[in-house]
Amino acid sequence: MTDQQQVRTTDALPGWESAREATDADGTTTRVQVRHALGSHLRDTYPVGALDLELQVAAGSGAGLAAVLEALFAEQPDRRRIVAAIRPEDEAGSALAREAGMHGVVEVDLPEGGAAVLWVAEAARVAAQSTAVDDLPQT
């Protein structure tokens, strides 16, 4: 994270626990709403971890979102993943998540109706684990 991308805590919108923002060198400000996924509308859409966070990105850049993700993982070293539910038709939101290093993992039905793609950022220690069947512990 560069000095131009210092992450600040700001006022959260109703229904969100906190908010973060980062400003790029070119003046682009990325604003992100944050809440624990376990208490959100996503809790029944995927196997939620106790420390997982859900994000909503209002505007910004991939670099700004990446800085916010880095800061959120640093705040809680045991955190495994951070997710954002982005509607399939939201091409700008998907591009922003992709630029920040997030991965579109699965399309889910939302409890309030409609569908969203879950974009996921995983902690480096989680992403480094092998997913090959041969590497799984044997029982």
What is the reported pLDDT for 25?
87
The answer on pLDDT for 78 being more than 50 is yes
Contact 95, 25 (CB under 8 A): no
Domain that holds residue 14: 3-128
Please determine, for residue 71, whether its predicted confidence score (pLDDT) is greater than 90: yes
pLDDT of residue 84 exceeding 90, the answer is yes
Mean of per-residue pLDDT scores for the chain: 89
Evaluate whether residue 49 is within a structural domain: yes
- What is the pTM assigned to this prediction? 0.85
As a whole-number percent, the residues of the chain with pLDDT over 90 amount to 77
Question: Can you give the pLDDT at residue 1?
Answer: 47
Q: Give the single-character DSSP code of 40.
A: S
For residue 116, being part of any structural domain is answered with: yes
Is 43 inside a domain boundary?
yes
Contacts for 41-49: CB closer than 8 Å, 24+ residues apart: 41/85, 41/110, 41/111, 41/112, 42/83, 42/85, 42/108, 42/110, 42/118, 44/111, 45/85, 45/108, 45/109, 45/110, 45/111, 45/118, 46/83, 46/106, 46/108, 46/118, 49/79, 49/80, 49/81
Q: Is residue 136 part of a domain?
A: no
Residue 139 lies in a domain: no
Q: Which is more confident, 111 or 3?
A: 111
For residue 135, tell me if it sits in a domain: no
Q: Please state, in angstroms and as integers, the Cα–Cα distance from residue 88 to each residue in 31, 63, 108, 116, 125, following that order.
A: 21, 22, 10, 6, 29
The CATH number that applies at residue 45 is 3.40.630.30
- What tens digit of pLDDT does each residue of 97-139 get? 999 999 999 999 998 999 999 999 998 655 455 546 565 667 6
